[in-house]
Amino acid sequence: MQIWGEYSVIFPLIAAWVLDHCEPREPRRVGDRVLAYREKLLGPE
């Protein structure tokens, strides 16, 4: 998404709209899987 305008004014409006219109999502918990991703990409140490 591109935003044309003063970000300090536009961002709070967009954030408020998102919070009002979007359902909460399940956290992805990527930090818990960092070591598994590292091993998958680089192999075991």
Instruction: Please tell me the distance from the alpha carbon of residue 3 to that of residue 45, in angstroms, as a whole number.
Output: 44
Beta carbons of 3 and 10 less than 8 angstroms apart: yes
* pTM recorded for the entire structure: 0.47
In the chain the first and final C-alpha atoms are separated, in Å, by 40
Beta carbons of 35 and 44 less than 8 angstroms apart: no
Q: What number is the average pLDDT over the span 4-11?
A: 81
Where is 12: in which H helix or E strand? helix 7-21
Tell me the per-residue pLDDT of 24-40, one tens digit each, with 9 for 90 and over.
Answer: 999 999 899 998 999 99
